Amino acid sequence: MKKRQKQKKIILSRGFSLVELLVTISILTVVSGVVLFNHARFNNNVLIENLSYEISLTIRQAQFFGWQVKEAGGGFGEGYGAHFDSNSDEFLIFADTYPAAPNQIYDAGYDEIVDRFRMTNNNEINELCFESTCDASTLDISFIRPNPNAFIRENGGGIDRETAEIRVISPKGLVKKIMVNKVGQIAVQEI
């Protein structure tokens, strides 16, 4: 009799019941869904943050070129700058080689493009702001030796601004801002 009970016990404990299997599959499905949903949001955040830092490094590179003795087309009097256009999917570093004199803005056809950067993954420039006014379509930040200060100009104008913000947005609505001030400080912040 004892032998029969032992055999019965062994037979009953050989596998999973249908209920146990369904519970396990549903738990794995929920966990996988949460992980995939958060991964997409995390990936989007990383992409917009990388773009923000790429823009800040571009401005820093223009600053470095402007302070050093890098020579572009005409001589050592020209400066270097970063040009941003809210209607374009790219931004660039330029050498301010305007024929008459450096004017601290990007003049298409006259100034030499040193490097060109393209925004990817449908990220874009959302707004270009100057001293809390966000209606500019272009922004030029340039540096001319021996002046350590930045020349911040909007819409190709000749007025030097104290601060500028470049706001970039991802397709999912994440917004980062890159702040630049006249003394050349650059900061990336989340809005």
Question: Measured between alpha carbons, how far apart are the two ends of the chain, in Å?
Answer: 76
Yes or no: is domain 35-190 CATH 3.40.50.2300? no
The DSSP-derived string for the chain is -HHHHHHHHHHHTSS--HHHHHHHHHHHHHHHHHHHHHHHHHHHHHHHHHHHHHHHHHHHHHHHHHHTT---SS-TT-EEEEEEETTSSEEEEEEE--SSS--SS--TTTSEEEEEEE--TT-EEEEEEETTEEEESEEEEEE-TT--S-EEEETT-SPPPSEEEEEEE-TT--EEEEEEETT--EEEEE-
Q: Where are the domains of the chain?
A: 35-190
Residues 6+ apart with CB under 8 A from 69: 76, 145
What's residue 163's pLDDT?
Answer: 93
Band (pLDDT 50/70/90 cuts) for residue 137 is very high
Check whether 176 has a pLDDT greater than 70.
yes
Check whether 8 has a pLDDT greater than 90.
no
Q: What are the tens digits of pLDDT across the range 123-133?
A: 999 999 988 78
Q: How many residues does the chain have?
A: 191
User: What is the rounded CA–CA span in Å between residue 109 and residue 74?
Assistant: 15
Exposure of 179 by Cβ count < 10 A (0-12 exposed, 13-18 middle, 19+ buried)? middle
Q: What are the tens digits of pLDDT across the range 78-113?
A: 789 999 999 999 999 998 887 666 788 888 888 888
What's residue 127's pLDDT?
Answer: 93
What's residue 124's pLDDT?
Answer: 92
